[in-house]
Structure 1
Amino acid sequence: MDPQRRGTPGGGGGKRAMRAAIAALAAAVFAGYLVLFVAMPTYAYKHTWLPALRAKTTTTYFGTNQGANLLVFTSPIVVIALLGCVYLHLGKNNNSQIKNTKSGEGENRIGIWKRPMIIKGLGIVSRIELAFFLMFIALLIWNLATYLHNDFARITTISTARSGEKVWEAKLDMAALRLGMVGNIALTFLFFPVTRGSSVLQFLGLTSEGSIKYHIWVGHIVMTLFTAHGLCYIIYWASTHRISQMMKWENTGISNIAGEISLLAGLFLWATTFPRIRKRMFELFFYTHYLYILFVFFFVLHVGVSYASIMLPGFFLFMIDRYLRFLQSRHHVRLVSARVLPCHTVELNFSKNKGLNYSPTSIIFMNVPSISKLQWHPFTVSSSSSLESDNISVIIKREGKWTTKLIDLVASPTPPDRLDVSIEGPYGPASTDFLRHDLLVMVSGGSGVTPFISIIRDLIHTAETLKHPTPQILLVAAFKYSADLTMLDLILPISGAPPHLSNLNLQIEAYVTRQNQPPPPPQENDKSPRTVGFNPSPTDPPLAATLGNGSSWLWLAAVIASSFITYLVAIGMLTRYYIYPIDRNSNRVYSTAARAAIHVAIICAAVVAASTAGFLWNKARAGKETTQIRNMAASPPCGDAEMESLPRLSLAESINVHYGERPDLKRYLFERKESSVGVLVCGPKKLRRQVAYICSSGLVQNLHFESISFSW
């Protein structure tokens, strides 16, 4: 037997064992982390656990409170993020897509928990998502109820007589305080879902775009609690004739003005997030969202750095991700060509490094400075890194002002010779499991077909190049007009497609809903799909991973660890040799707000230094491949002959067009007898809910639902 072949299974088994051990360790750390939040409002935590913990962590480097909070609230999440990086690195080359494991009894039991539900106010959620959301709400209610129960028991007529307050006023004061503390617990989880390159999200099998809804849910809860916190204090100060407290900025302790500034920034941000305002005035929503910087900064000044350490880890990981995205977006990428369709749609094709791999349904964020220097818009990647090793593509349909300007620019009779484009990403799932199904039913509406194009291209590579069995594919695509049918031509890339598609079992049912009959034969002056070539600048690099192609997760772990250690060392030395001597002086006490501002500055400096070093090091390593790609002559645009190639003829034979009707989704889904049917839907909210309702009905057990939504 070939020793290399003999060693492969063992190596794979060793990696699987290591990944299982890492997952178990991370789960144990997270369970202990959650136990702290459950125990926090209890008498035992306050009078037994916390004093013992502070006694062991009190040093002249981190003080009395901050050392304990860094140890029990900040460090666990940093450890989980590092474990997630290692876990994902070990799994990136395990070819999980090529397993073709079918659903078993255990997986069917899990599938019941993944079955969709439609909840008013939450949208389409799985039973797992609903269960975790309810547990999160229960955690917040438990904390608030326990705090208030213990605090109110100590408030009596006798205790309030000394301060001259009424009992209800004292209770209101305490309720305001506890609402703020519970709001901080919710704030701890606010930034995890919007950390696009997060190892924590992908470790849990989540994507950044699919997690936006969690950010929305938690954001509403955070602002509700903080608004109630502020209103209760205003009422309390007004009733006790101490409204002047609103204008106080204490040298030590809580700063009221800082809290009010933070709350006002949050309220302005919150007001623009509601659907009617967000959809009608997206630019207002987009720009006001940057108020999160003021919100977090003044929140830290308000409560002090020791208490802010509870919410620090999520924001710390978000800062690293945000700065790495900033570094990646500083350069224009090589836009080499575009395919222009008559349905006001274009496919943009960019050059990329061969080592940049991504999963189907990934997204990129794109900026075109000639249209807007500040606006970034997400688009689904339509290409497959397996089928197209040198290119990455996105499909853009005219749906708003920004996309209209872009398409008019590219599709004009005299398109520009080059177009400056910056990109962040791609972001997507760490792996996909489409091969575990016997049949994939993809339901799309309009431009919702885009993510399915990336899946089909990936399966083309699996079937035609790797010669591995793939599930049957049924694409049910609904379009408004017959011109939109040309989007199906984009299933095959400009280059890289195999000479035939005989090994791919693909059937496309296309519905044209607003035309009752086929259009007349095309005339000579009718517009047809055409290819536009660009001449990118020699200085424009191909798209590459921010932290290297082969070991980006290990590099991310290095950036997280080095920036956190740098922060700890710097703040420890500053506290020990500068702040601590001042605090020891009985005549002077170091300002709480100044201390918090210094911590913010140091952690920002640590993130910038570590991230920049990692980015530049990997950029230097990728320089050789970038130079090779720059020196390659641009491929000439493909002409109309390509549209008549054998794979396109094979694709055309797979398409069945229906005019003047809508698809009968119940028939397509309920009549399938395969043991495992993966149901994917992307399109308008009404379509997604219709498919979710069918899959959640319980009439059949072989449907496995997944919604792909890019509109929040």
Structure 2
Amino acid sequence: MDKASVHKPLLLESEGGVKKIPPVLFLFASSVKWILRILMWVIFIGWVAFIFIYPTQFGSQLFQKWIHATNGTLFGLTGSIFLALSAPILVIAFLSIAYLIITSNSKEEDFERNRKKSFRCPTVRLWTFPVLVDGPFGVVSAAECIGIIFFAVYILWAVYAYTIRNLSSVSELHLTSREESIWLWKVTGLRFGGIGQFCMAFLFLPIARGSVLLRVIDIPFEHATRYHVWLGHLTMVLFSLHGIFYVVGWAMEGNLWHEMLEWKDIGVANLAGVISLLAGLLMWVTSLHPVRKWNFELFFYTHQLYVVFVVFLALHVGDFIFSMAAGPIFLFVLDRFLRFCQSRRTVDIISANCLPCGTVELVLAKPANLRYNALSFVFLQIKELSWLQWHPFSVSSSPLDGKHHLSVLIKVLGEWTAKLRGSITDIHGAESMDSSSPSIPRITASVEGPYGHEVPYHLMYENIILVAGGIGISPFLAILSDILHRINEGRPCRPRDILVVWAVKTCDELPILSTLDVESICPHFHDKINLEISIYVTRESQPPLEEGEFGKSTVSRVRPVAKGYGMSILVGTGDNIWAGLYVIASTVGFLVLVGGVDVLYMKPYGISAWWYKGLVFVVCMVGSVVIFGGAVVGLWHLWERKIQAGEDGADVNVNVNVNGEAVLLGSKDDVVASKDSHHQIIHDKSSTTIQYGSRPDFKEILGSISERWGHVDVGVIVCGPPALQTSVAGEIRSQYFRRRPHHPVFHFNSHSFDL
């Protein structure tokens, strides 16, 4: 453990480990946060309400009045539509930045006060109560179920409202029966396209990994991806219906191919729409679960066609229609460019630890000012293995383990992970032969993240149950380490009763627990916390001949290519002020570019082609992020290097806990592994039980807990395959319906990441 992290905690502290703020300042900050929160909700509800009434005749008339009132401004029709349908989400982003800046200054104290309030009366919460546990959506909480119903109601309402308007309009046109059918097919296709545009406005919000919107509502990216999947299916259904209805209408007219290949200057460019739809369909088909499971790389590389999908959509509809969904897309572009900048840095791999169960532990260098919580994860690229592949891994270390490193556990399951383990084995073999040779193989890493919850929600519960399957124990090692550090250092930490339920296939996986040295973190921890570990070895009916001898691990010293570099703090938990400047500068730059191009280029040269104006709009969007946002990122990077240089000069001697007792002396690349771990947790018979040839019975486990722990909030965190999540969620739901007043309230939380 890093000594500096004990004697000089990440936040200035006083009694109880909580950062103390003068009451007046705390009251002022709380008031400002409430005002910002109310403003964000008012703007969001107003935005959603307008989207709901838009399909009606009243909504259409209201929108026409808005356009008439604002059309004479600098940005014209495009600016009017952008201001009504895209600007609200950008304003919410600005308010979110201010909210996060204020929150970060009092996070520990604010967290502690809110945590104390949450234990006064254990109650069911919408986000943690599983309503649907086995179906096409997986495990769905009550809050998520409300969201699904919300979108279903909107789609049905919009289709109904548009149908009434279409039937009313066609009766006034005095057309023949055939002409009426053709007109209805085409205008219905138009309506489906409009509904799809609004759904696409929500589609890009969940996949902005470091988005301030996700951070302010504390929804981590691994949870938000499933919302993107659901919205992706819905959006592509709507756009497919949009295309099908038009194709039928054109076929009935007898000019199908002519219409499909038409590229108008004034009006919709049909061919561009066909190209966009084909790109979307290809992404959609390859994202289906059977295809993704069969060939993940096919899904991943095909999904990069989102660039073609978005650009040709802008060419298809022009700038003013595209601006309906431009705000969320702009936020995604902001996030994507920032991730690109972060991932360019080469990060030191301090050490690599090969466990006999086929698991690799990598210890990565990080700057001291990078913040993250337990249950965070990173995206990792190893250039020696692939320049294109990025893989997500849970962080297995606590932020209190040390200021200059974090760890990830990687189980060998596929070709990429097998190559990684092979590379580390080669390094170990080469070092064994000649440790001073300059030709020892090297591996280098690039990192995106860390991403995760804005607050350590595992500390919000009085008791917690951690349910893991296989390598799913990795993030729970970070939780246990975090809790033990907090107890040992007197920091805010509520959980005192912890049950770990771990299902593994064979005993070979048990050495993973050896990466957590509980005695060195919190001596005599049994006097301060009730920790129980139940291990289920499902594919072995009896213990090995010498129980506890699970093989020795191998620690390899990896020579970094870029000496002394930790991961960048540009994404995820980066500095909120710099992140705010980046978003604001890019947005202002976007307005400047669009206005300047319109005044200096579009109007003087009389450019009126819809598709060309749509292309220029997208170019301005990307250009503003690269030019204006890039300037802020450059300054941010210089500031980060200056801060890191000062910290590196001050920290001369730092200890790092690697494989029980590894030490970092002098600089980040001097790693010495002192001795093998002793599997303290496994050998502690008072707290650990190992059952062979059986699986966990969650009805029995939760039933026993209900009688022992009493009326408290119990957080149940699951990390494992879908079947494990379904089993736990189903039993939590059952426990709720048969619980008694003195029984605990179980809260389901999933930490499984599935792209």
Q: Please indicate, yes or no, whether the TM-score normalized by the shorter chain is above 0.5.
A: yes
What amino acid does structure 2 have at the position aligned with 1:425?
Answer: G
What amino acid does structure 2 have at the position aligned with 1:511?
Answer: Y
**1:547–1:615 CA contact under 8 A, matched in 2:** no
Q: TM-score, normalised by structure 2?
A: 0.87
Determine which of 451, 476, 496 is the counterpart of 1:471: 496
Partner of 2:151: 136
Q: Write out aligned runs for 1:38-117 (5 A).
A: 38-47=52-61, 49-59=62-72, 61-63=74-76, 65-92=77-104, 93-95=106-108, 96=110, 98-99=112-113, 100-101=115-116, 103=118, 108-110=123-125, 114-117=129-132
Separation in 2, partners of 1:522, 1:113: 39
Identify if the C-alpha distance between structure 1 residues 144 and 106 changes in structure 2 by more than 3 Å, giving closer, same or farther. farther
SS of structure 1 residue aligned to 2:482: helix
Q: CA deviation at 1:365?
A: 0.4
Matched, 1:395 2:439: no
Partner of 1:21: 35
**1:74–1:312 CA contact under 8 A, matched in 2:** yes
SS of structure 2 residue aligned to 1:209: helix
Identify if the C-alpha distance between structure 1 residues 109 and 5 changes in structure 2 by more than 3 Å, giving closer, same or farther. closer
Separation in 1, partners of 2:263, 2:45: 38
67-76 vs 343-352, which deviates more?
67-76
Determine which of 724, 729, 741 is the counterpart of 1:687: 724
Identify if the C-alpha distance between structure 1 residues 20 and 492 changes in structure 2 by more than 3 Å, giving closer, same or farther. farther
Q: CA deviation at 1:634?
A: 3.1
Identify if the C-alpha distance between structure 1 residues 18 and 492 changes in structure 2 by more than 3 Å, giving closer, same or farther. farther
**1:443–1:476 CA contact under 8 A, matched in 2:** yes
Q: Write out aligned runs for 1:370-449 (5 A).
A: 370-412=384-426, 413-414=428-429, 417-449=441-473
Q: CA deviation at 1:545?
A: 0.7
Separation in 1, partners of 2:354, 2:685: 19
Identify if the C-alpha distance between structure 1 residues 390 and 651 changes in structure 2 by more than 3 Å, giving closer, same or farther. farther
**1:335–1:418 CA contact under 8 A, matched in 2:** no
Identify if the C-alpha distance between structure 1 residues 57 and 334 changes in structure 2 by more than 3 Å, giving closer, same or farther. same
Partner of 2:295: 281
Determine which of 631, 634, 638 is the counterpart of 1:620: 638
Separation in 2, partners of 1:711, 1:492: 29
66-75 vs 531-540, which deviates more?
531-540
Identify if the C-alpha distance between structure 1 residues 114 and 662 changes in structure 2 by more than 3 Å, giving closer, same or farther. closer
Identify if the C-alpha distance between structure 1 residues 599 and 457 changes in structure 2 by more than 3 Å, giving closer, same or farther. same
Matched, 1:595 2:613: yes
Residues 186-219 of structure 1: per-residue CA shift (max 9 Å, x gap): 1111011111001111212211111111111110
Separation in 2, partners of 1:418, 1:285: 30
What amino acid does structure 1 have at the position aligned with 2:163?
Answer: L
**1:157–1:167 CA contact under 8 A, matched in 2:** no
Q: Write out aligned runs for 1:455-470 (5 A).
A: 455-466=479-490, 468-470=493-495
Identify if the C-alpha distance between structure 1 residues 136 and 375 changes in structure 2 by more than 3 Å, giving closer, same or farther. same
Separation in 1, partners of 2:727, 2:20: 50
Q: CA deviation at 1:547?
A: 6.3
Identify if the C-alpha distance between structure 1 residues 470 and 110 changes in structure 2 by more than 3 Å, giving closer, same or farther. closer
Partner of 1:702: 745
Q: Write out aligned runs for 1:151-162 (5 A).
A: 151-156=166-171, 159-161=174-176
Determine which of 157, 163, 180 is the counterpart of 1:167: 180
Partner of 1:560: 583
Q: Write out aligned runs for 1:341-360 (5 A).
A: 341-360=355-374
Identify if the C-alpha distance between structure 1 residues 410 and 653 changes in structure 2 by more than 3 Å, giving closer, same or farther. farther
Separation in 1, partners of 2:29, 2:537: 49
Partner of 2:557: 533
**1:418–1:536 CA contact under 8 A, matched in 2:** yes
Separation in 1, partners of 2:193, 2:671: 62
**1:102–1:676 CA contact under 8 A, matched in 2:** no
Determine which of 688, 701, 709 is the counterpart of 1:668: 701
Identify if the C-alpha distance between structure 1 residues 22 and 496 changes in structure 2 by more than 3 Å, giving closer, same or farther. farther
Q: CA deviation at 1:633?
A: 5.4
What amino acid does structure 2 have at the position aligned with 1:292?
Answer: Y
Identify if the C-alpha distance between structure 1 residues 333 and 522 changes in structure 2 by more than 3 Å, giving closer, same or farther. same
Partner of 2:162: 147
SS of structure 2 residue aligned to 1:328: helix
Identify if the C-alpha distance between structure 1 residues 591 and 496 changes in structure 2 by more than 3 Å, giving closer, same or farther. farther
Separation in 2, partners of 1:685, 1:97: 31
Identify if the C-alpha distance between structure 1 residues 430 and 112 changes in structure 2 by more than 3 Å, giving closer, same or farther. closer
**1:97–1:434 CA contact under 8 A, matched in 2:** no
Identify if the C-alpha distance between structure 1 residues 24 and 398 changes in structure 2 by more than 3 Å, giving closer, same or farther. same
Separation in 2, partners of 1:652, 1:711: 35
Determine which of 123, 134, 139 is the counterpart of 1:124: 139
Identify if the C-alpha distance between structure 1 residues 522 and 130 changes in structure 2 by more than 3 Å, giving closer, same or farther. closer
Q: CA deviation at 1:650?
A: 8.5
What amino acid does structure 1 have at the position aligned with 2:227?
Answer: Y
Partner of 2:656: none
366-375 vs 137-146, which deviates more?
137-146
Stretches of structure 2 lacking an aligned partner (at least 5 in a row) = 1-13, 431-439, 650-665
**1:472–1:504 CA contact under 8 A, matched in 2:** yes
**1:532–1:637 CA contact under 8 A, matched in 2:** no
Matched, 1:511 2:555: no
Identify if the C-alpha distance between structure 1 residues 376 and 708 changes in structure 2 by more than 3 Å, giving closer, same or farther. same
Partner of 1:303: 317
Stretches of structure 1 lacking an aligned partner (at least 5 in a row) = 584-588
Partner of 1:586: none
What amino acid does structure 2 have at the position aligned with 1:696?
Answer: R
**1:84–1:199 CA contact under 8 A, matched in 2:** yes
590-599 vs 358-367, which deviates more?
590-599
What amino acid does structure 2 have at the position aligned with 1:20?
Answer: W
**1:441–1:475 CA contact under 8 A, matched in 2:** yes
Separation in 1, partners of 2:137, 2:485: 37
Residues 386-431 of structure 1: per-residue CA shift (max 9 Å, x gap): 2322111110001111111112221345265531110000000100
**2:718–2:749 CA contact under 8 A, matched in 1:** yes
Separation in 2, partners of 1:438, 1:106: 12
What amino acid does structure 2 have at the position aligned with 1:699?
Answer: R
Identity %: 30
Separation in 2, partners of 1:5, 1:329: 33
Partner of 2:754: 711
What amino acid does structure 2 have at the position aligned with 1:117?
Answer: L
66-75 vs 209-218, which deviates more?
66-75
17-26 vs 103-112, which deviates more?
103-112
Identify if the C-alpha distance between structure 1 residues 653 and 346 changes in structure 2 by more than 3 Å, giving closer, same or farther. farther
Q: CA deviation at 1:475?
A: 0.3
Q: CA deviation at 1:461?
A: 1.3
96-105 vs 19-28, which deviates more?
96-105
**2:207–2:221 CA contact under 8 A, matched in 1:** yes
Q: CA deviation at 1:80?
A: 0.6
Separation in 1, partners of 2:541, 2:182: 70
What amino acid does structure 1 have at the position aligned with 2:561?
Answer: S
Partner of 2:233: 220
**1:337–1:532 CA contact under 8 A, matched in 2:** yes
In the alignment of these two chains, the number of paired residues is: 697
Identify if the C-alpha distance between structure 1 residues 570 and 108 changes in structure 2 by more than 3 Å, giving closer, same or farther. same
**2:377–2:393 CA contact under 8 A, matched in 1:** yes
Q: TM-score, normalised by structure 1?
A: 0.92
Q: CA deviation at 1:105?
A: 7.4
Residues 446-468 of structure 1: per-residue CA shift (max 9 Å, x gap): 11111111111111111111255
Identify if the C-alpha distance between structure 1 residues 5 and 539 changes in structure 2 by more than 3 Å, giving closer, same or farther. closer
Q: Write out aligned runs for 1:264-275 (5 A).
A: 264-275=278-289
SS of structure 1 residue aligned to 2:502: strand
SS of structure 2 residue aligned to 1:215: helix
SS of structure 1 residue aligned to 2:139: strand
Identify if the C-alpha distance between structure 1 residues 445 and 113 changes in structure 2 by more than 3 Å, giving closer, same or farther. closer
Residues 135-160 of structure 1: per-residue CA shift (max 9 Å, x gap): 11211221222112111112139622
Residues 143-183 of structure 1: per-residue CA shift (max 9 Å, x gap): 2221121111121396224xx94322221111111111111
